[in-house]
Amino acid sequence: MPNWTKESFIEDLRKSCSREVAKIGVTIIEFAEKNGEELTWGRGSDHGTLTYRCASDTGPLPLFHLTSDGQINFQINFMRNKEIPFMVLQDMVIKLESNFMRDYNPVDYPSDVFEPMDEMFHTQSQVDKFIKTMEGCTYRLKQ
């Protein structure tokens, strides 16, 4: 049974982060509720976690994790080890690389790590592009 709920997660997010990061977090949560196959709230005591999963041929597949202390984790390397269509992963990586100006190749990004959202998202356009990327992956993995 999770310790965290949407309400407690958002409350902690607003307490722990700047108003801008909290707004981004709420936007991502709303997207996740609308599009996710399965959302899970964490059980930790330090901070809340949200895991966004979408349907795929291999079952529910996590695409990202969000924490109530303002961090996000893209599950790129986890997905590399799953049998998902190469074009879906490639599309996701290319869009995230261009949106965040980072390199997510296996050499420079050997493991999935939590990144501070205030260092990732600087404009509303980046938030919108991230959501569109996750929407596209979710849609393509359901096919």
In a domain, 90, yes or no: yes
What DSSP string runs through 5-54?
Answer: -HHHHHHHHHHHS-HHHHHHHHHHHHHHHHH-SEEEE---SSS-EEEEEE
In a domain, 78, yes or no: yes
In a domain, 1, yes or no: no
In a domain, 79, yes or no: yes
* Structure tokens given for 98: 């261009």
49, β-bridge pairs: 67
In a domain, 119, yes or no: yes
Q: What is the pLDDT of residue 2?
A: 60
Domain range holding 45? 6-142
Total domains in the chain come to: 1
Q: What is the pLDDT of residue 132?
A: 96
* Structure tokens given for 103: 């390199």
Q: What is the pLDDT of residue 96?
A: 94
Residue 130's alpha-carbon distances to 12, 46, 74, 107, in angstroms, are 23, 26, 11, 23
In a domain, 21, yes or no: yes
pLDDT truncated to tens, each residue of the chain (143 aa)? 468 999 999 999 999 999 999 999 999 999 999 999 989 999 888 899 999 999 888 889 999 999 999 999 999 999 998 888 889 999 999 999 999 989 998 888 888 999 999 999 999 999 999 999 999 999 998 87
The rounded distance, in Å, linking the Cα atoms of 132 and 21 is 19
DSSP state letter for 111: S
Which residue shows structure tokens 């959302």? Answer: 39
The rounded distance, in Å, linking the Cα atoms of 141 and 9 is 27
In a domain, 124, yes or no: yes
The rounded distance, in Å, linking the Cα atoms of 136 and 99 is 15
In a domain, 101, yes or no: yes
Q: What is the pLDDT of residue 56?
A: 87
